[in-house]
Amino acid sequence: MSAHTATAIAEDPVTERRTTKGASLPTAPCSVVWSGGHAYVLEGGHGRSRWVGVDDRGRPTLMSHADLQRRGWSRTRL
């Protein structure tokens, strides 16, 4: 991996898993990404889209693109 690569793979200290940081999140509706052991689905269309998942207790969780970028995410379940 070169020093100029925009996508970095980082170790998540909480889950000890590799996550994608700095890469662009998918923008197609119904896209699925994983973060912190939970799946998140992109809802909405142009303008006000959000990522929807559930927490450890099964309660709905809403996240913005920025939230997922900060937490780290992956296209596949790790």
- Rounded to 5 degrees, what are φ and ψ at 65? -60, -45
Report if residue 2 sits inside a domain. no
| pLDDT score for 15 | 44
Does a structural domain hold residue 21? yes
- Residue 62, domain member (yes or no): yes
Rounded to whole angstroms, what are the CA distances from 57 to 26, 53, 54, 60?
26, 11, 8, 9
78 in any annotated domain = no
pLDDT confidence of residue 40: 97
Give residue 56's domain range: 8-71
Q: Tell me whether residue 52 is in a domain.
A: yes
Q: How far apart are CA 43 and CA 52, in angstroms?
A: 7
Work out how many domains the chain is built from and give that number.
1
Helices (H), the chain: 65-71
> Which pLDDT score, from 0 to 100, does residue 23 have?
76
- Cβ atoms of 73 and 25 within 8 Å: the answer is yes
Any domain includes 56: yes
Residue numbers of the chain with a pLDDT score lower than 50? 1-10, 12-17
On whether residue 49 sits in a domain, the answer given is: yes
